[in-house]
Amino acid sequence: MGEAPSLSFDTRTFHWTDAKSKAITRPQDPYNYLQGFGNEHQSEFIPGALPIGQNSPQICPFGLYAEQVTGTSFAASRSHSMRNFLYRRRPACVHSTYEKIPDNPTIESSFLNPSKDLHSIPSQLSWSPFKIPAKEAAVIDFTKGIHTLGGSGQPNVREGIAYHIFAINSSMKNTAFVNTDGDFLIVAQEGHLDIFTELGHIYLQPSEICVIQQGLRFKVDIVEKHSPSGARGYIIETWGTKWELPELGPLGGFGLANPRDFLFPTADIDTSSSGPWKIVSKQEGRYYAISQDQTPFDVVAWHGNYIPYKYDLTKFVYHNTVSVDHTDPSINTVLTAKSRDLHAPLCDFLVFGPRWDVAQNTFRPPYFHRNCASEFLARIYGLEVAGGRSEVFAPGGASYEAGFTPHGNADQRTIGAMHVDLKPMRVGENQLTFMLESCRSLLFTNWALKDSGVLVAEDIPASTWDTVPDRFGENEEAIKFLKAMNRASTSLVM
């Protein structure tokens, strides 16, 4: 037998399977996971720590305390009910009184008050990479490094969404965070993160996303070895809804993001720290804190379905046309968060990675479009130029198009694509990009438009579109018809 080939996961990976890994995670990830979106899971750090056949024994195994956490109403339908039982050394209520602590001034959670300093955008915005703060200037951990770009709605009515970025240079020291407003979907873009949640560890690196649900405590540490410049990424915060897998319809039983590729942590406890601990709680975007002598990461066993999870976007199974035309971009949906309008999701999380384009007799660049949804794009890695008003700048930046902003590809490929010899070809190689489609028109913060310092004043000059010729006006047959109808006009003829 020859030597096993070394595993290769890098930005040239076309699909996860190219690395021929027998593991479900990348080599840097030291943790074990459970698999299966929507499953009931259970895990115990010590064998026998989970009670059998009941939730609340008179005395729990090993003297642990039972504690329930609900993510939905008690009487939610079975298909929507989310709840856990945790078995821990001390119940979470063992802590000091809440105290008000300084807010993170760059977090915004209310987009309903028109008197606030929030801004509507009629067309398009772009940002160069958001800056990761230098450690010499200030120690910025996850609680301080969140910056809101924009949003819609408000958490206290359980309606809406906020888009944030995070840029940090420090791990959280004896500090945990809990967001009582909503769920965080975290996209790693720069650096590696070790996220300790009450239900165990999630290791997160560029190409991976994770969801940490409302009310669960967690701690974000930077893995220094893989994060020489600190860490950066994106957070999509949703209020009053949960991320789901999209329906597959005629695709059948498998495809897109397959449920078994979603990974859930296994029970783990913190035995290395000594107190005291601080737990920073975000409520309505404001910060409060409690302190306690014991670690909040003392859950020895748990069972339920209200569990943080992660997913590697390079495992996505792309689908699209195999004859002519384009399938709408919703075919790239990884997760969807419903709104109360059944026909308009609060947010779809889409991925655009390497894939094949095989459509024949077809204009292959994205069709020109004006969508009712707003579009937010960000590149995780790779520098392939997308072109046009959907241009995405370097990894770590972003762009936004308000609903009904007309766009498409503006560069020369647009015209050239009408004349090329179409062959099956790989597109989107060496890069990974995500897009958020929302039925909401976002309002943007001063931080997004000014204080971040990376807003691009004019990314696509309006004159770019002058390169799109009026070919109808030059078409001899069309001119003949127009003349016959006495409708010829010099304004139509360039």
Q: Which stretch binds Fe ion (CB under 5 A): 151-159, 313-321, 382-390, 445-453?
A: 382-390
Residue appearing with tokens 């020291």 = 173
Give the count of alpha carbons within 13 A of 319, CB side only: 16
- C-alpha torsion angle, residues 197, 203, 209, 211 (rounded to 10): -10
Give the C-alpha separation, 448 to 190, whole Å: 19
State yes or no: 375 annotated in a binding site. yes
Q: What are the C-alpha distances in Å from 283 to residues 174, 233, 296?
A: 20, 22, 19
Q: Between the CA atoms of 91, 93, 99 and 104, what dihedral angle is there, to the nearest 10 degrees?
A: 50
b (16+ CB within 10 A) / e for 62-79: eebbbbebebeeeeeeee
Q: What are phi and psi of 143, to 5 degrees?
A: -65, -30
Please say which residue, 224 or 328, places its beta carbon nearer to Fe ion.
328
| Residue listed under structure tokens 């897009």 | 435
Nearer to Fe ion, 155 or 345 (CB): 345
Range 434-469 burial, b when 16+ CB lie within 10 A, else e: bbbbbbbbbbbbebbbeebebbeeebbeeeeeeeee
Residue found by looking up tokens 């302190």 in the block: 291
Q: Which is nearer to Fe ion, 194 or 375 (CB)?
A: 375
Stretch that binds Fe ion, among 153-161, 227-235, 297-305, 371-379 (CB under 5 A): 371-379
Q: Which of 15, 119, 226, 326 is catalytic?
A: 326
Which residues 27-66 are close enough to bind Fe ion by CB under 5 A? none
One character per residue 321-360, x = contact with Fe ion (rule: CB under 5 A): ----------------------------------------
- Residue 31: beta bridge partners? none
Is position 407 annotated in a ligand binding site?
Answer: yes
Kindly calculate the radius of gyration of the chain based on its CA atoms and give it in whole angstroms. 25
- For CA atoms 371, 376, 382, 387, give the dihedral sign: positive
DSSP 252: -
Residue closer to Fe ion (CB basis): 246 or 329: 329
Minimum CB separation of residue 389 from Fe ion in Å reads: 8
> Least Å distance between CB 461 and Fe ion?
19
To Fe ion, the closest distance from the beta carbon of 63 in angstroms equals 57
Query: Taking the complex as a whole, how short is the minimal distance between the CB of residue 331 and Fe ion, in angstroms?
Result: 14
Cβ partners under 8 Å of residue 483, min gap 6:
none
Q: Of residues 388-407, which lie at the interface with Fe ion (CB under 5 A)?
A: 390
Q: How far is the CB of 387 from Fe ion (least distance, A)?
A: 12
Closer residue to Fe ion (CB): 268 or 375: 375
Q: Is 303 annotated as a binding residue?
A: no
Q: Respond yes or no: is residue 326 known to be catalytic.
A: yes
Nearer to Fe ion, 336 or 390 (CB): 390
Shortest approach of Fe ion to residue 407 CB, angstroms?
A: 5
Binding flags for Fe ion, 146-185, as an x/- string (CB under 5 A): ----------------------------------------
- Residue numbers in the known binding site for homogentisate are 407
Active site amino acids: 326
- Residue numbers in the known binding site for Fe cation are 369, 375, 407
- Residue numbers in the known binding site are 369, 375, 407
State the residues that interact with Fe ion by CB under 5 A: 375, 390
